[in-house]
Amino acid sequence: MHNYQNILVAVDFSTHSEQALSRAKQLADIYSADLQVLHVTEMPTYPVLEDIAITGLPGIWSDEVADKLQQATLKRLVSMAEKEGIPSSACEIVVGVAKQDIVKHAEQMKADLIVVGRRGVSMIQRLIGSTADSILHTASCDVLAVNLGDNE
């Protein structure tokens, strides 16, 4: 039997990822594995030319706004994790692109299992290709996509 030792769970605050968090904690307890909880903050982008998009919203998006957003997001992540009995030290947020940075983070921490929700908050993602599907195709470790059974 395989013993998972390093588990990464990706949280986007959807009910699916809440379920993923709970499942990841159960698995971490069963395997006595290290558990890390990751949220990726995706900055807004806007098109300037047909092929070029710029990150941020000029006049609205500043470093100060970004800092405040990150602090509030971390607080929310920690509170969600603590409800599951996961310490704040296991929580991390990074700025980037979820489907890429979750896999990158998993590689850095040598994760042997990534746990995600089958769906997330983004409706657009379903049209352009979901985060869960992309992780499943690019990760070099096992991926568990937790399904709430509401295949709407």
Binding of ligand AMP by 17 (CB under 6 A): yes
- Which of 23-31, 49-57, 73-81, 122-130 is the region at the interface with ligand AMP (rule: CB under 6 A)? 122-130
Binding of ligand AMP by 132 (CB under 6 A): yes
- Residue 74 CA to residue 10 CA, distance in Å, equals 13
Residues contacting ligand AMP: total by CB under 6 A = 22
Binding of ligand AMP by 39 (CB under 6 A): yes
For residues 67, 78, 29 and 40, what is the CA-based torsion angle, rounded to 10 degrees? -30
Specify the residue, 14 or 138, whose C-beta has the smaller distance to ligand AMP: 14
Binding of ligand AMP by 130 (CB under 6 A): yes
DSSP 44: P
Positive/negative CA dihedral, 73, 105, 101, 4:
negative
The residues, ordered by sequence, that sit 6+ positions from 13 with a Cβ below 8 Å of its Cβ are 39, 76, 80, 121
On whether the CB atoms of residues 15 and 148 are closer than 8 A, the answer is: yes
Binding of ligand AMP by 105 (CB under 6 A): no
- Which of 9-17, 28-36, 49-57, 72-80 is the region at the interface with ligand AMP (rule: CB under 6 A)? 9-17
Restricted to residues 82-101, the positions that interact with ligand AMP (CB under 6 A) are 98
By the criterion CB under 6 A, which residues form the site for ligand AMP? 10-12, 14, 16-17, 20, 38-40, 42, 98, 102, 116-117, 119-120, 122, 125, 130-132
